[in-house]
Amino acid sequence: MNSGEVLPEAVVERFAIYGELETVCPFGSGHINTTFVSRWNQAGLRVRYLHQLINDRVFLRPGGVMENIDRVTRHIASILREKGEEDVSRKTLTVVPSRDGRLFVRDDGGGWWRTYLFIERTHTLDLVSTSGEAHFLGKAIGRFQKQLADFDGKRLDETIPDFHNMESRYRSFRNAVNRDPLDRAGTAGAEIDFMLENEERGAVLLRALREGRIPERVCHNDAKINNILIDDGDNRALCVVDLDTVMPGTCLFDSGDLIRTVAARAKEDERDLSRVEFDFPFFAALLEGYLSEASSFLTTGEKELLAESGRNITHIMALRFLTDYLEGDTYYHTSRPGHNLDRARNQIALVRSMDRHWESITRFLRERVL
């Protein structure tokens, strides 16, 4: 039996949850894990939990992922409690252990499952429509980074080694172009050329890290727009989720992913490229929100590279989507033929739009930050 054939009902019953299980349904639109929500009757009260089958082709040590998440969420919860905040279990994820006290359950096919408290009355955005939204999303990631700025103890597990390492991403890309297992390179000639022409500037964050111009810190590494839950009540960012990639990196990976997904006028798989544009007012509001939390701990070296971070992370996403297209869509969930190629084209168009706005981006950061 493989994990795809496992009944989620049988798995969720193995977590330390009281009451009667009523339903289990698929949930969410993530590209990596498989998510379900269960509903339980707990002495007359209906309560929901979120369950995920961890993608163990992407995360080769799911146990390490869960240890990281457990440490990080406990750390954030203790900071929130010390500050006397209300609703701590809405502001950070809470891991629900298995009945035998582990952070995960293994199913009969060897799959790794985890459970979180389901944070009720929230939604996520795929695009912002106001500067206010851009501001609170930036603030949420700035706050998250600040909460982890003093995280100490054993170094977190690198759940995906070289995750944002442009050199190794380029190696995989070249390998995919050369092997071209599905004979797709001919359909992506312009995109392949773009990648080859822009390789040099792709290494900007990696070089800064290597040369010690920016520090290594604990960061999210996947700080895209829909990994931030927003409270339906006050319509403010509430909780940063999808913590599988929280590990050592640079804060610029997170500012970059925010810029890529918040300061964009179209979703990352929009096919009409005339709609794929960088949005300067959203960018400015996002950075104001982010810096309202982060400017106290960021170094000058980090601030100097904020502008590059958006362009760099968009570039790496284009490269990864294109590589996956050439490899035969083995990494990202796709829902139509050519989905990864559409995403790659979209992200290249966004890098080009950022290039066109470059002067205003750098002027804004010079005046506001440096």
Looking at beta carbons only, is 38 or 245 nearer to ligand GN1? 245
How far is Cα 307 from Cα 252, in angstroms, rounded to an integer? 9
The 126-165 site mask, x for binding ligand ADP (CB under 6 A), equals ----------------------------------------
Looking at beta carbons only, is 221 or 353 nearer to Mg ion? 221
Q: Find which of ligand ADP, Mg ion, ligand GN1, none residue 58 binds, CB within 5 to 8 Å per kind.
A: ligand GN1
Q: Find which of ligand GN1, Mg ion, ligand ADP, none residue 224 binds, CB within 5 to 8 Å per kind.
A: ligand GN1
Residue with tokens 């991403």: 169
Contact 306, 252 (CB under 8 A): yes
Q: Find which of ligand ADP, Mg ion, ligand GN1, none residue 119 binds, CB within 5 to 8 Å per kind.
A: ligand ADP
How far is Cα 277 from Cα 353, in angstroms, rounded to an integer? 6
What are the b/e assignments for 56-84, b being 16+ CB within 10 Å? eebbeebeebbbbbbbbbebbbebbeeee
Q: Find which of ligand ADP, ligand GN1, Mg ion, none residue 28 binds, CB within 5 to 8 Å per kind.
A: ligand ADP
The 189-218 site mask, x for binding ligand ADP (CB under 6 A), equals ------------------------------
How far is Cα 236 from Cα 136, in angstroms, rounded to an integer? 6
Q: Considering only CA atoms, which of 189, 190, 198 is closest in space to residue 169?
A: 198
Looking at beta carbons only, is 124 or 131 nearer to ligand ADP? 124
Crossing angle of helices 251-262 and 280-294, in 10° steps, is: 150
Contact between 331 and ligand ADP by CB under 6 A: the answer reads no
- Contacting ligand ADP within 77-116 (CB under 6 A): 93, 116
The 11-50 site mask, x for binding ligand GN1 (CB under 6 A), equals -------------------xxx------------------
- Contacting ligand ADP within 234-263 (CB under 6 A): 241-242
- Of the candidate residues 6, 13, 21, 35, the single one contacting ligand ADP (CB under 6 A): 35
Structure tokens at 328: 């035969």
Contact between 124 and ligand ADP by CB under 6 A: the answer reads yes
Binding footprint of ligand ADP, residue count (CB under 6 A)? 19
- Of the candidate residues 8, 17, 30, 141, the single one contacting Mg ion (CB under 5 A): 30
Looking at beta carbons only, is 231 or 302 nearer to Mg ion? 231
Looking at beta carbons only, is 57 or 83 nearer to ligand GN1? 57
Contact 41, 19 (CB under 8 A): yes
Looking at beta carbons only, is 34 or 353 nearer to ligand GN1? 34
Looking at beta carbons only, is 124 or 172 nearer to ligand ADP? 124
How many C-beta atoms lie closer than 10 Å to residue 186's C-beta? 8
CA 330-334-337 angle, 5° bins = 95
How far is Cα 329 from Cα 39, in angstroms, rounded to an integer? 33
Start-to-end CA span in the chain (Å): 57
Handedness of CA 232, 235, 239, 245 (dihedral sign): positive
Concatenated DSSP letters for 239-298?
EE--GGG-EEE-HHHHHHHHHHHHSBSS-TT-S-GGG--B-HHHHHHHHHHHHHHHTTT-
Helix (H, G, I), strand (E, B) or coil at 5: helix
Q: Considering only CA atoms, which of 189, 165, 168, 164 is closest in space to residue 177?
A: 189
- Of the candidate residues 93, 317, 326, 351, the single one contacting ligand GN1 (CB under 6 A): 317
How far is Cα 14 from Cα 267, in angstroms, rounded to an integer? 37
Please report, as ranges, the residues that interact with ligand ADP according to CB under 6 A. 27-28, 30-33, 35, 50, 93, 116, 118-119, 122, 124, 226-227, 229, 241-242
Which residues contact Mg ion (rule: CB under 5 A)? 30, 227, 242
Applying CB under 6 A, the residues found at the interface with ligand GN1 are 30-32, 58, 222, 224, 227, 242, 244-245, 268, 317
